[in-house]
Structure 1
Amino acid sequence: MNNSGTSTNRLCSFFLQGKCRFDQNCKFAHLDPPSRDIFQRIDAHGARVPDDPQTTANIDTMPAERQVRGRGRKDYVSEANGVRQSPETAWTQAERSELQRVQAQLAEEITRQHGLQARREAERKARQAEQEALKAKNDAAVVTQHVVFGSTLISCGAGIEIRSIISGFESCRLTIKNLPPDAKREEISALFTQQGIPLQDFLVLQIKPVDEGRHLEVNVLTRASLADLISVGLDGIDFRNERLAFKVSSDASPDAMGESSARDPHVLTISWRAPSTAMIVTYASMDEARARALSLDKNVWCGRKIHVEMNKPPVGPALRYYNPCSVKITGLPVGISPALVAVYSGTSIVKEIKSNIYNLDDSMVMLKEHLRSLPYNGVRSYELVSENESDGLVTMRVHFESWTHARRALDSLEGKRLRPEFPPYRLFLPHPIHFSRSISAQQFLSQQRLWDSLPGPTTGKGAHVRIYSNTEKTLIRVMGDDEKAVGALKVRVETLLSGEKLDASFWHRSFMSPTGREVLERIYSQFRVYVRVDSKELALRIYGDGTNMDVVRRIILAGVNQFSGQEWKVFLKRQSVSFFVRTGLAMLKETLGEDSVTLDVISRPCAISVRGGEDARHQLSKLIDLSLDELAVDQHIKADTSNTCPICYDQVSIPIKLGCKHTYCSACIRHYVTSADDSTSFPLVCLGDEAKCRTPISIPTIQHFLTRQQYDRLVQVAFSVYVDHHSQDLKYCTTPDCNQIYRSNSGTTLKCPSCFAEVCSSCHDDAHEGMLCQEQKLRKAFTEQLDEAWATKNGIKRCPACQVWIEKKDGCNHITCAKCNAHSCWICMKTFDTGELTYNHLTTEHGGFWDGEQNRDYERALALQRELDAL
């Protein structure tokens, strides 16, 4: 028997006694002795053991013949001189000869085992090198997907290199409904990959339960060119006994408002009062008249809902017949007798007055004739919804080919009677473009000044905002009939809805706890600034009107520091303890500080205590994952610390080896990655071989040092740099505040999914159908030259936000654009969020609200007012 782990030529004494518990893992040699008698006299070190006195005495008392036979294998005869040696001499020579043979055999076995061990070690290193190479290859192939700039889908490879782009102009949101509640993300992805769609062309954005958990609804971002094919090809298919439904939405931005929920935007609803009778009934006293009016009003009688009110004094000669104790009843059926009314109303004095009586059939015939007589009327069908119902209304729905046809019909009927006896029409046509979003009452109140500054139904031209609010929720609606105006206003509203997202330095998971929520509630109560926890992105969003925002940021940052100063403990698994004792603890202390980390190896289970924020938690989590990966642990422990770090050019401290085999100090590579958000050079590459290596750093290595928020921020920076470096191919939408991008190509008209602006992708100007780009450029230049000359002469300027012309006739230098409602300074044309900020700017930068003498007059008026107030 032998063992492969032998590291010495010493024999294992416990093995000779049959008691060794290490078996093949023993560091001493395990060899079966060739002669039991010899090993009874040789110890594990090869030294002779004295004979047992009792055994020697027994041998000496035996007859000589038995002694020789008893020693058998141990007595040797020297034939050199032909003289028989003494028993003692023969014993010694035989013992020495046997010992030499055993030692030679032992040396040979040890040499063999050393060779075997060397081969096994070489095989292990080869396997490890192969595993390391495979891991480096897999890490280098990792690709992540992200949604940036609203609804642009990008794929990032090693070093945050931008691999693929689906711009917001090219993307759309696909909603899949009726999925079973246990559907997996992989199964959802398979719906697309099985249609031949590559993984980089779609991203599952959200999976949410609906119908009280009976189904799942999934939002997927994909190419618009593919979405229609998918929705048509897969709509109605069976998925595990569920029939799927697909819906395509053009705007894929996660902060986009919901699309119009108005049904039948091409339908004009026309209603008018049905023929009815009105009567005056008189009572004995005012008290009785008031009581009867209250009790009879809005009752349904003879199939009609009647309206009863106190009779108002008439104007003119009829006033002499007026009785203040009289009540007016309207909505009575045509032809009803005064006697019946007298019985119902409880009085005998009843008088019929001029009423709304006409031929209903004639009115409907004339209405249809009027609509048909309109040029290009576009009428498709008529639908009589109600006729002479209890509410006394007749309602007709007219279906048109387009909203424009319906609008033209509405304009022709508005304020018009087709006959003098016909009642006026009530007309309703839903806005063709209509978006809505619900927010909390706290968010609305914190931004109320900004919401009030948006164009309303009476001030908005082509687009306006309607707000419906209660104690819990506020519904924001953007609507209008000018698509471009609605789009520009929608983008402004969505900017308010998304608020300001604070970066990773303002985040701590304690804000999701009851204690953290109390802090945020106190901020709202004290400063009227609403702070919301974005659990999806692990960030805070703040909402306000511009005031107290800096104060709130400082309070939040102080809260983060306070939470980060609290110590928290993590229990370690047994296999993690060794790693943290050898390298993990030192790595954490170097990153977080000597006093921020404590390792307790006495308690069971062992625990590590840490002080710090999200970055500290991230670093500890990554090291725990590393400690459970045997290959990674072996790399860290056996990494060569004699190498020179490519960043600090010093001997490596706490080494980190990249896939390209270059080794860095843990602190140096961490600083390189965390400071990359100020870089303008991507991808991030290895700086080894005097910066000649240039191998992109793998995504898992970058994510090892960055929290999720930091990594997302780095991706945003990398993409911004990419767009800047490819400015000839990628362009930003021209609408202010719209962050969509589009791909430049030759002569294609594109439409922004967020603001609906149409742009020529060749000259990047407004779309110009039927005109070459050069012609459009010349026409625009000539027009602008004329406009500028006229504007300069007449003191007219462009709005800095939406570029429409603004004329200032009188008043102060605070200008509010009638189109986009932007606040600006007329002198320097800077824009501001509120009028208050504009006035502050005018005072500090331009010496007052007005020009010249007007400012002095204003100051004198203020001084006089202060004197009067002091009296």
Structure 2
Amino acid sequence: EEKRRIEEEARREEKDRLDAAKTIQHLVLGSTIVKFSAGVTIERIITGFYSCRVRITNLPLNAKPYEVKSLLLDQGMEEDMFQLVNLRTWNGKKEANFIVEEEWGRAIASGIDGVDFRGESLAVEATDSGTLEGMNSNNSALLSITWRIPLRRFALRYFSPDEATRQLRSMNGHVINGQKIKVEQNRLPHTTVPDPYSLLVSGLPSDMSGEEIKDLLDAFSIRQISTLSYNENLVDGLLKNHIRTLMFNGSVDFDPSQLNASQGNRSLRARFKSWEDAKKVHDQLANKRFAFIGNDTFRLWLPDPYQITIPMQQYLAQKKQWDSFVNDTKNRKESTLHVRTFPEKVVLRVGGDDMKAVGMLKVRVESLVAGEILQDMSHVWFGSAAGQRFLESLCTETGAYVRYDWRVKLLKAYGDREAVAQAREKMKEELTRLSSLEYTESLTRNSIRFFVQRGVAALKEAFGEESVVLDISSNPVRITIRGGEDARHLLRKLLDESLLNTTTDFSSTSESTCPVCLMDVSNPVKLGCGHEYCTACIRHFFTADIKNFPLLCGGDDGTCMKPIALPMIEKFLTPSQLNALLETAFTTHIEKNPQLYRYCKTPGCKQIYKCDTSQSTKTARQCPSCLASVCMRCHEDGHDGMTCEERRIQGDPAEQERLNNAWAREAGVKRCPECRVWIEKTEGCNHMTCKCGAHICWVCMRIFTAQTIYGHMNEAHGGIYERNQPMVQDEDVPAQ
């Protein structure tokens, strides 16, 4: 018996040790990996500025997350260097999306690309921007190139007009080898008069010989008219080689070219590693004629790099703002917003030539898409069916679209300022009505345990999960019920019952005192530090509105202070509750450590970066959301190749002038008082002639004519050569 007790104690201690050491990784802001340890303590942050996105495709449908993760682990990565965001079905296969520490991203992509996985050859790509929130990348590094197949035209002659007419009727529109040919009446030379004995044929396949065409259309003679040079078998290779040359042998892949017989054209799709590469090639091909396609131009299509979809109701409520956005960016090459409407949704696309301008527009679009959070209007009732009907009525009455975000339990409003203000007023009226249906009671010490263990559950069962709030952080503890008079009646009955059953045990008890309710522990939960809590009390502790981290044990009258193990927290929280807790801990950590982390400098951008205190000149990083280049040390625009001090001086005209003047005194150079260029005297007299034509006295730096300068130097300075102590420019000459 004693041996079993010792073994059980050892197993429990080992479990407590493992639980205390467990960590969790969580993705915030769409691209930032955060590692948490016991007490929801933040151990490590990889911001979006230092991460990239890795996409693995062609995985079998039965691929498991642990198998996909092992692909990265086998490349030498540690688990805290990446985050598997999703594993989804795509085009009949599985696709895995990772956020990966940047320095590993490209190496991982090249190491896994082409690897055999259960008989499938994997395809891997890494993109610099790792964000998975806001506007999505449109897989837009795909350039579609289309060109017209030059027409081969032939004139055919017949013995009689009837034969020509018969062939015209039977062969016009006929499809040969996937191409539709065109047959029409030919004209007499140098006239517009139809030639009844001759037909003009075009759109013929390039590999058909003249004799084959003559036999097919049963003519007695044939003559080729078109002289354009076009070889169908060589065009693909010539175009691909030209693109590779433009890329300086950079990474680009090609899909097989496709023939569109009905349109008489052929197309090729080129896949690049980045949108910038695709845009570069697009611009090099645009509006230029190429001999190998018959001295014609290419038709090019490159999708905008970012897009997002919003509900039609939101778009209609914000239509004035979206129209203003479109008008502001119309005909602007650097950044443009395109809007495409569908019956139930609207797709917004952002593109342009200048990626910095595109990034700024992208953030503005995302900000408008996010709407206005109505912090003071939040109420769980709006998430109910009745609440949804009320919000829909607001759209009809005010023109503002208001929705309840169930993930964060917040209301968001969309529309112009006046419409949102009207919606606010109507919501205030509704909140006043709802508040009249809520009833709050303060609980005595004897009633707390009853409601934690039984009373709250009874009320929730009767009126719904969101109808009851027990605030154990207030003093005294309060319980609030919503639901009208019947809800108040049941609450009063339960209050009476709680006072009558102060000594009743509703579950197993312990001799310990619960640090939350300060009563004997019921349904005990033992932490790794040895302190016990009531099951219901610790659950309410984890689900309360927590603002202070890490989460510590309050045993021994609040002196224990040991971090609570993550498995214990996970046990009592749903996945959504746990995510909310982790994000609150992250936000709190960033706000309390401004010396370690900063928000991106672009207005409205929510991304963060880690401050760099090194002396390296390579401190610039690109924001994954707005694409701005930011110096991690001085927090200004990126300035690779310069120190922060050099960048500051360069951007400060007054400091530049002061340093220039100090250098000039030391180097013995002066500015021409006429054109302000630097001039230097190396030998000879004090008469200096600037390239602007000014005649200058080197001693006092005043301007004279060529006829008067020597008289001035003799009279004012006692000669035309250097004095022992030259005068200082821009200071009082007579005093000197």
Residue of 658, 669, 685 corresponding to 2:527: 658
Alpha-carbon distance in 2 for matches of 1:545, 1:498: 14
For residue 142 of structure 1, report the CA deviation from its aligned partner. 3.2
Which aligned pairs between 1:712-723 and structure 2 lie closer than 5 A? Answer: 712-723=579-590
For residue 519 of structure 1, report the CA deviation from its aligned partner. 6.0
Residue of 426, 430, 440 corresponding to 2:311: 440
Residue of 449, 466, 472 corresponding to 1:613: 466
Alpha-carbon distance in 2 for matches of 1:182, 1:272: 44
For residue 766 of structure 1, report the CA deviation from its aligned partner. 1.4
For residue 739 of structure 1, report the CA deviation from its aligned partner. 1.6
Alpha-carbon distance in 2 for matches of 1:485, 1:717: 32
Alpha-carbon distance in 1 for matches of 2:76, 2:24: 20
Alpha-carbon distance in 1 for matches of 2:60, 2:258: 42
Secondary structure, counterpart of 1:445 in structure 2 = helix
**Residue 630 of structure 2 contacts residue 637 of structure 2 at CA under 8 Å; is this kept in 1?**
yes
Q: Per the alignment, do residues 402 and 549 of structure 1 end up closer, same or farther by CA in structure 2, a change over 3 Å counting?
A: closer
For residue 273 of structure 1, report the CA deviation from its aligned partner. 11
Q: Per the alignment, do residues 762 and 659 of structure 1 end up closer, same or farther by CA in structure 2, a change over 3 Å counting?
A: same
Which aligned pairs between 1:437-476 and structure 2 lie closer than 5 A? Answer: 437-456=308-327, 457-458=329-330, 460=332, 462-476=334-348
Alpha-carbon distance in 2 for matches of 1:757, 1:462: 14
Alpha-carbon distance in 2 for matches of 1:139, 1:397: 52
Q: Per the alignment, do residues 166 and 184 of structure 1 end up closer, same or farther by CA in structure 2, a change over 3 Å counting?
A: same
Residue of 250, 254, 257 corresponding to 2:128: 250
The answer to whether 1:676 aligns with 2:529 is: no
**Residue 272 of structure 1 contacts residue 426 of structure 1 at CA under 8 Å; is this kept in 2?**
no
The equivalent residue for 1:590 is 452
Q: Per the alignment, do residues 394 and 184 of structure 1 end up closer, same or farther by CA in structure 2, a change over 3 Å counting?
A: closer
Residue of 97, 100, 103 corresponding to 1:225: 103
Secondary structure, counterpart of 1:638 in structure 2 = strand
Secondary structure, counterpart of 1:206 in structure 2 = strand
Secondary structure, counterpart of 2:641 in structure 1 = coil
TM-score with structure 1 length normalisation? 0.50
What is the total number of aligned residue pairs between the two structures? 550
Q: Which runs of 5+ in 1 are unaligned?
A: 1-118, 277-298, 308-328, 345-356, 363-375, 414-423, 567-584, 600-606, 620-632, 787-871
For residue 198 of structure 1, report the CA deviation from its aligned partner. 2.3
Q: Per the alignment, do residues 715 and 586 of structure 1 end up closer, same or farther by CA in structure 2, a change over 3 Å counting?
A: same
The answer to whether 1:638 aligns with 2:505 is: no
Alpha-carbon distance in 2 for matches of 1:395, 1:658: 66
Residue of 769, 780, 795 corresponding to 2:651: 780
CA RMSD in angstroms, aligned pairs only: 6.1
For residue 465 of structure 1, report the CA deviation from its aligned partner. 0.4
For residue 492 of structure 1, report the CA deviation from its aligned partner. 2.0
Residue of 612, 622, 625 corresponding to 1:754: 625
Identity %: 30
The equivalent residue for 1:482 is 354
The equivalent residue for 2:56 is 176
The equivalent residue for 1:14 is none
Alpha-carbon distance in 2 for matches of 1:537, 1:240: 41
**Residue 538 of structure 1 contacts residue 709 of structure 1 at CA under 8 Å; is this kept in 2?**
no
The equivalent residue for 2:607 is 740
Which aligned pairs between 1:497-508 and structure 2 lie closer than 5 A? Answer: 497-499=369-371
Q: Per the alignment, do residues 454 and 784 of structure 1 end up closer, same or farther by CA in structure 2, a change over 3 Å counting?
A: farther
For residue 162 of structure 1, report the CA deviation from its aligned partner. 0.4
**Residue 51 of structure 2 contacts residue 100 of structure 2 at CA under 8 Å; is this kept in 1?**
yes
**What amino acid maps onto 1:239 in structure 2?**
F
For residue 171 of structure 1, report the CA deviation from its aligned partner. 1.6
Secondary structure, counterpart of 1:231 in structure 2 = helix
The equivalent residue for 2:444 is none
For residue 161 of structure 1, report the CA deviation from its aligned partner. 0.4
Secondary structure, counterpart of 1:769 in structure 2 = coil
Q: Per the alignment, do residues 269 and 458 of structure 1 end up closer, same or farther by CA in structure 2, a change over 3 Å counting?
A: farther
The equivalent residue for 1:236 is 114
Which aligned pairs between 1:765-804 and structure 2 lie closer than 5 A? Answer: 765-782=636-653
**What amino acid maps onto 2:644 in structure 1?**
C
Q: Of the two, which has the highest radius of gyration?
A: 1
Q: Per the alignment, do residues 523 and 243 of structure 1 end up closer, same or farther by CA in structure 2, a change over 3 Å counting?
A: farther
Q: Per the alignment, do residues 689 and 392 of structure 1 end up closer, same or farther by CA in structure 2, a change over 3 Å counting?
A: closer
Q: Per the alignment, do residues 378 and 636 of structure 1 end up closer, same or farther by CA in structure 2, a change over 3 Å counting?
A: closer
Alpha-carbon distance in 2 for matches of 1:688, 1:208: 45
Residue of 150, 154, 157 corresponding to 2:30: 150
For residue 158 of structure 1, report the CA deviation from its aligned partner. 1.4
Secondary structure, counterpart of 2:582 in structure 1 = helix
Alpha-carbon distance in 2 for matches of 1:162, 1:694: 17
Alpha-carbon distance in 2 for matches of 1:396, 1:242: 25
Alpha-carbon distance in 1 for matches of 2:124, 2:247: 31
**What amino acid maps onto 1:774 in structure 2?**
E
**Residue 205 of structure 1 contacts residue 221 of structure 1 at CA under 8 Å; is this kept in 2?**
yes
Alpha-carbon distance in 1 for matches of 2:465, 2:142: 57
For residue 263 of structure 1, report the CA deviation from its aligned partner. 6.3
Alpha-carbon distance in 1 for matches of 2:412, 2:268: 48
**What amino acid maps onto 1:483 in structure 2?**
M
The answer to whether 1:686 aligns with 2:553 is: yes
Alpha-carbon distance in 1 for matches of 2:426, 2:528: 43
Secondary structure, counterpart of 1:454 in structure 2 = helix
Alpha-carbon distance in 1 for matches of 2:409, 2:386: 17
Alpha-carbon distance in 2 for matches of 1:509, 1:137: 43
**What amino acid maps onto 1:488 in structure 2?**
M
Deviations 1:193-226 (A, max 9, x none): 3333222222222232334xx4322222222322
Residue of 18, 21, 24 corresponding to 1:141: 21
Q: Per the alignment, do residues 202 and 332 of structure 1 end up closer, same or farther by CA in structure 2, a change over 3 Å counting?
A: farther
Alpha-carbon distance in 2 for matches of 1:236, 1:272: 35
Alpha-carbon distance in 1 for matches of 2:268, 2:189: 21
Deviations 1:153-201 (A, max 9, x none): 1011111100121110122222222333333323233333333322222
**Residue 506 of structure 1 contacts residue 556 of structure 1 at CA under 8 Å; is this kept in 2?**
no
Which aligned pairs between 1:48-67 and structure 2 lie closer than 5 A? Answer: none
Alpha-carbon distance in 1 for matches of 2:189, 2:635: 65
**Residue 611 of structure 2 contacts residue 633 of structure 2 at CA under 8 Å; is this kept in 1?**
yes
For residue 695 of structure 1, report the CA deviation from its aligned partner. 0.8
Secondary structure, counterpart of 2:48 in structure 1 = coil
Q: Per the alignment, do residues 226 and 770 of structure 1 end up closer, same or farther by CA in structure 2, a change over 3 Å counting?
A: closer
Which aligned pairs between 1:493-572 and structure 2 lie closer than 5 A? Answer: 493-499=365-371, 521-522=392-393, 524-530=395-401, 543-546=414-417, 549=420
The answer to whether 1:727 aligns with 2:594 is: yes
For residue 533 of structure 1, report the CA deviation from its aligned partner. 7.4
Name the one with the larger helix percent. Answer: 1
Secondary structure, counterpart of 1:207 in structure 2 = strand
Deviations 1:505-531 (A, max 9, x none): 9686995x9777666655555555556
Secondary structure, counterpart of 1:195 in structure 2 = coil
Alpha-carbon distance in 1 for matches of 2:364, 2:269: 34
Q: Per the alignment, do residues 171 and 403 of structure 1 end up closer, same or farther by CA in structure 2, a change over 3 Å counting?
A: closer
